[in-house]
Amino acid sequence: MDDILEILANDARVTPEEIAKMTRKKAGEIKKTIKEYEENGTIVKYKTIIDLDKVRGENSSFVRALIEVSITPQKDVGFDNVAERIYSFPEVTSCYLVSGAYDLLVTVEGKNIHTVSNFVASKLSSMEGVRRTSTHFLLKKYKEDGQILKKVSHGKRLAISI
């Protein structure tokens, strides 16, 4: 990956002028390169990582699930057609073709466990081409997109005297 993309992937708020200093290139050249990346689809979106647990609070019933999906590939289109139908649902936040026992790994978000369960039962599992699913509800997030969300504090052990 080139220097500009690496810097932006780490912090999208870095200005072209700051990137120019870091890479010893001209700011105008950096701006032009970034614009080209945006136009050709290399840069798809600028994203802020938010610890939603802090925003929603501990009493929130919002849930996220990882769903393994086994599908039957279709003639001439393989997995793509079924994957497109799946990732078109608003509940689906990510969809990946993976190797292993299942074909797709789908991330789904919902208000509570029941909305996600209903999505799986009524929309996903009943879809033509879907053979089986396995749902894993996320219980706690420690790291997302390379960023540690919660610093784990390792308490010091107390000395024991006899």
CB 82 within 8 A of CB 130: yes
Torsion angle (degrees, nearest 10) of CA 110, 139, 141, 115: 0
* Per-residue pLDDT of the chain in tens (162 residues, 90 and over written 9): 799 999 998 889 999 999 999 999 999 999 999 999 999 999 998 888 777 667 766 666 789 999 999 999 888 888 999 999 999 999 999 999 999 999 999 999 999 999 999 999 999 999 999 999 999 999 888 888 777 877 666 666 666 766
CB 72 within 8 A of CB 129: yes
CB 128 within 8 A of CB 71: no
126: DSSP letter = T
Indicate the pTM of the whole model: 0.71
Distance CA 51, CA 47 (A): 13
The structural domains of the chain, ordered by start, are 3-40 (no CATH), 53-140 (3.30.70.920)
